[in-house]
Chain A
Amino acid sequence: MSPLLSVENLRIAFPSRQGPVEVVRGVSFSLGRERLGIVGESGSGKSQTGRAILGLTPVSGTATADRLEFDGVDLRSASTRQWRKLRGARMSMVMQDPKFSLNPVMTIGRQLMEAVKLHGGKSEAHDKSIAMLEAVQIRDPERVMAAYPHELSGGMGQRAMIAMMLVTEPDLLIADEPTSALDVTVQIEVLRILDRLVTERGMGLIFISHDLRLVSTFCDRVLVMYAGRVVEELDARRMSEATHPYTRGLLNCLPTITGDSRPLPVLARDDAWLE
């Protein structure tokens, strides 16, 4: 079976005064219908990797790859027309903060139905939207449909955004820190919703996060990124067997509720990891 998405040697560069700076330096992976986690700290290139897959690299940057293929479509040479067919309908993205990624002057209902209408299904748009809001466990979907983003709490807003991204039933969902702005208990609920959708609909999920511990409990497979490269690929259940010093350092430097190591081990960075 051919994978849903394959990425080979992805490179993203941004111009700077000292010449182009590569923020993603040769990332390769393939994704089936599974949960793949991409973990790294700020500036590791994890978000840019996610954006490049959707063709959302900022205009100042350039993304190149030896191969960037989604379900048989070569994304590198995709026309605007092809992109319109793919984005939203077949692959979509959940951003970090609902406050900044929802349209503040449109009700949730209008934004949701816009997505449905664009990808066919004008007549059932309303019913579909309601059903989707119920699927993300919003108890009072009619009220949420009529609400503006500022009238919702962070958790509700994030669920509404997930509903918006999933209402078209995409094959691939890229979630960029979808739960980082949420409280722990809400975070687990949102993950449970994502988890169910992946299992039930056979969706592929790329889960981008800085939280190695959370990702290791949620995903099937984890890529650890450092300075624009994948330094280690791991089976999420075998996190404790990580061999790369960066992964190990990242795991060790987190305080735990039960542990009592004081001072906390600090991550000693090694220039050799950059190579």
Chain B
Amino acid sequence: MAFIDIEDLEVTFEGSGRQVRALKGVSLAVGEEESFGIVGESGSGKSTVLRALCGLAPVTGGRISIAGEPVQAPRDAVFYRRVQMVFQDPYASLHPRHTVDRVLSEPLAIHGFDHAEDRVEQALEDVGLGSGFRFRYPHQLSGGQRQRVAIARALILEPKVILLDEPTSALDASIQAEVLNLLDRLRAERGLTYVLVSHDLAVVSHMCDRLVVMQGGEVVEQLTREALQAHATTEDYTRNLLTASEGFTRDPALQR
């Protein structure tokens, strides 16, 4: 029995007489303490899977269950104790007029945690920021530091599952390495389950044991890291993605 079980998930967005089927029957199974990747291009529905999981997208069909229990709609507090999300853009996902302290204290207050003071200090320590950052505003932080705060905010409720939506694509290469290392370390220390969405095959291959490739709202292929590294793909689409990720090749014959 998989830890996160998604079956035939459908998401349809409606607006001004138009329907967009963003997910057309997606099924995934993520094991406990596994790191699972979702790759695809813009519009493939990869982020929508995460948003549907945590109740931010209009689910129109299919089932989602976590640890054997179907999730409630709307999601209850117990769900968010267990599942937290880190968003792509650290410049947009932190409240510009809340200090780091407030960002981190709010979830603690909502879920009735004790020792809020210590927990905030500890969370900052865990993501490598230290208490000096506690009373700063987001604009006083760099992109990498903001993403660390976003990770601290997700971790402070001691969840089991972290949904990561392009956690490093807004960051510089050297900062990306630091954040990926941090995520890797936290998972090993706490036995977290990750679902990581990225357009970058290299990042997914580095972080995840298994992955799916999505295109046009459907899962095209499921792969293990070893299969990806060995280029053992059966789908042309995945192969194209792989070649494209390896950089520019001058000879067009090689590209095709």
Residues of A within 8 A of B (CB): 41-42, 154, 183-188, 191-192, 195, 210-214, 216-218, 249-250, 253-260, 262-267
Check B232 for interface membership: any CB of A closer than 8 A: no
Contact of B173 with A254 in the complex, beta carbons under 8 Å = yes
Asked whether, in the complex, the Cβ of B202 is within 8 Å of the Cβ of A256, the reply is yes
Q: Is B63 at the interface (CB under 8 A from chain A)?
A: no
Closest 5 pairs between A and B when the two form their complex, measured CB to CB: A217-B247, A255-B206, A253-B177, A267-B174, A183-B41
Please give, as numbers and ranges, the residues of chain A lying within 8 Å of B228 by CB-CB distance.
257
**Contact status B202-A192, CB under 8 Å:** no
Cross-interface CB contact of B173 among A186, A218, A250, cutoff 8 Å = A250
CB pair A184 B181 closer than 8 Å: no
Told that A217-B247, A254-B177 touch, could you supply 11 new A-B pairs with CB distance under 8 A?
A184-B41, A188-B255, A191-B248, A211-B173, A253-B173, A255-B180, A255-B203, A257-B245, A262-B206, A264-B180, A266-B178
In the assembled complex, the Cα of A211 lies from the Cα of B241 at a distance in Å of: 17
Cβ of B54 under 8 Å from chain A = no
Which residue of B has the minimal Cβ distance to A257?
A: B205
28 CB-based A-B contacts, threshold 8 Å: A42-B143, A184-B201, A184-B241, A185-B41, A185-B241, A186-B41, A192-B252, A195-B250, A210-B172, A214-B247, A217-B246, A218-B247, A218-B248, A249-B174, A250-B174, A253-B173, A253-B176, A254-B173, A254-B176, A255-B202, A255-B205, A255-B207, A257-B201, A257-B246, A258-B229, A260-B206, A266-B174, A266-B177
Q: A183-B199, A185-B240, A255-B202 are in contact. Are A267 and B177 (CB under 8 A)?
A: yes
| Chain B minimum-CB-distance residue to A211 | B173
Q: Are B244 and A187 in contact (CB under 8 A)?
A: yes
- How many angstroms from the CA of A267 to the CA of B245 in the assembled complex? 22
Set of chain B residues within 8 Å of A250, measured between Cβ atoms: 173-174
Q: Give A1 Cβ to nearest chain B Cβ, in Å.
A: 24
B244 and A265 form a contact (CB under 8 A) = no
Q: CB-CB < 8 A to B5: which residues of A?
A: none
Q: Which of B184, B205, B249, B255 is the one whose CB lies under 8 Å from A263? A: B184
Given contacts A188-B244, A217-B247, contact A263 B185 (CB under 8 A): yes
In the bound complex, CA of A169 to CA of B46 (Å): 40
Q: Give the Cβ gap from A37 to chain B, nearest Cβ, in Å.
A: 11
Q: Is the CB of A41 within 8 A of B245?
A: no
> What CA separation (Å) do A266 and B241 show in the bound complex?
27
A212 and B173: CB pair below 8 A?
Answer: yes
Q: How far is the CB of A246 from chain B (nearest CB, A)?
A: 9
Q: How many Å lie between the Cα of A73 and that of B202 in the bound state?
A: 45
Given A183-B199, A210-B172, A255-B203: A263 and B245 interface contact (C-beta under 8 Å): no
In whole Å, how far is B239's beta carbon from the nearest beta carbon of chain A? 11
**B131 in the interface (beta carbon within 8 A):** no
Q: Does B29 count as interface, using CB distance less than 8 angstroms?
A: no
